[in-house]
Amino acid sequence: MSYTKMFFLLASMSFSIPTGANSQAAADTRLRIFIDCSVSGCDSEYFRTEIAFVDHVRDRADSDVHILVTSEKTGGAGNRYSINFLGRRSGARSDTLYVSTLQTASADDRRKALVRAIKLGLVPYLSHLAIGNDLNVVYSAPKDSKADAGQAARDPWNLWVYRIGANSNFSGESSQRFAYVNGSASASRTTEDWKISIRGNGNYNESKFTFSDKSRFANYSHSYGASELVVKSLTPQWSLGQRASFSSSTYLNQKVNIRVAPAIEYNFFPYKESTRRQLTLQYSAGVSHYVYEEETIFGKLKETHPDHSLTAALDLKQPWGTVSSSLEGAALLDDFSKKRLVTYTSLNLRLFKGFNLNMYSSVSWIRDQLYVPGGNLTDEQVLLRRRQLATSYRYFGGIGLSYTFGSIFNNVVNSRFGGAGGGFFFSE
């Protein structure tokens, strides 16, 4: 029987731990777990309520089993979770289970699927403790017992997934009003050999102000575009791709921006390990065509340039924390003075028991702002960011530290007074 079949067979089991003569002994040797889950579907209170036959601890250093949950998108726009069980005691085993949810799955569906898989993965650890004597495994037969789980399901959509969406938000006061509207559509198809994605979107922003002298000012901006990506898997570590895009943006002074570029990518780790670690190097070369709304600082209303870029990206999701970092360099092939270098780093590290470090930063060195309009901008355009301003650099960042100490246990859930916001007492 294949691993996949075995997992889905076990996934339909339910667990119960009755109260028996060994309950006190079990309580003395309860398994301590630390669930490290920050992806969609994670609900720490639900986990503690539904997995009540273990002790939940606040720090991985106090655990017998560190459960690290990561996820990635499937071809059907759903989620595939990797649940890594990392034994922390001498001779303890490590294991990995996988569970997939559909794109249409609700938050409750996702958290239930995760709880079921976590319970399954804990069985080998529990069986070696006194509590294992009180563990019952009950199998619930599938409703359609004649179905062949190994037979691939027929798909009338041939793995294509389509999505259409729209959203808006608005706010206002006596002297100002804001409105935002967004619409998007996409079509995608993912297999082991091919990845195809086609997307389109549009945005509209409106701001209106009334000043003390009763005069009024209104600001309108929009952007829209479409993009296409086709990727061919060559080997477990090589991929070949092609991108094409069209966009328009009042903020960037671009009436038309068209770009076509093939690319090649190498992953220093096999792609199948991407939920835990990934280090990629991607090179792209293409052609971009621009049509501007206003004449630029270089006296251009339209222009075409060949360009290329090289990007290195690192993503790690490990028991000690997560790291996401990238370095990108790009330049015009017909004018190397027009270039940029962008770095980005995000860290979430558990340096030692109870002590966490969170940090993110980005720095850009910019020498390729071809689109900046040549005329002088009004104060309103500057203050309301109606146009991108000329700059040679850009940066942002943040850092945070936290230290938690005290009881190591995290079993109890108490939701009293949890639903009251209380923000109406002091509002701005």
- Which residue did the predictor score with more confidence, 181 or 410? 181
Q: Which residues contact 159 (CB under 8 A, 6 or more apart)?
A: 75, 76, 189, 190, 191
Give 97 or 416, the one with higher predicted confidence. Answer: 97
Q: How many folded domains does the chain comprise?
A: 2
Domain containing residue 318: CATH number = 2.40.160
Which domain-ending residue is among 139, 167, 194?
139
Flag whether 352 is in a domain: yes
Higher-confidence residue of 158 and 426: namely 158
201 in a structural domain: no
| 244-292 residue pLDDT tens | 999 999 888 999 999 999 999 999 999 888 878 899 999 999 999 999 9
106 lies in which domain range? 3-139
238 and 387 assigned to the same domain: yes
Let me know if residue 39 belongs to a domain. Answer: yes
**Boundary of a domain, candidates 107, 139, 171:** 139
Does the residue 161 lie in any domain?
no
Burial class (CB in 10 A: 0-12, 13-18, 19+), 428: exposed
- For residues 241 and 134, state if they share a domain: no
Final residue in a domain of this structure, among 139, 158, 192: 139
- Average per-residue pLDDT for the chain: 84
pLDDT tens for each residue of 54-75: 999 988 888 999 999 988 888 7
238 and 344 assigned to the same domain: yes
CB 365 within 8 A of CB 338: no
E strands within 74-193?
79-87, 94-101, 136-139, 160-172, 176-190
Residues 121, 249 share a domain: no
Domain assignment present for 135:
yes
In this predicted structure, what is the pLDDT of residue 331? 95
Whether the CB-CB separation of 305 and 311 falls below 8 Å is answered with: no
* Position 36 pLDDT exceeds 70: yes
pLDDT exceeds cutoff 90 at 376: no
- 101 CB-contact burial (10 Å; exposed 0-12 / middle 13-18 / buried 19+): buried
| pLDDT at residue number 153 | 61
Specify if 423 maps to a domain.
no
pLDDT of residue 386: 61
pLDDT band at 40 (very low <50, low <70, confident <90, very high): confident
- Is residue 185, in this structure, part of any structural domain at all? no
The answer on pLDDT for 150 being more than 50 is no
**Domain shared by 378 and 271, yes or no:** yes
Question: What is the model's pLDDT at position 422?
Answer: 52
Domain assignment present for residue 346? The answer is yes
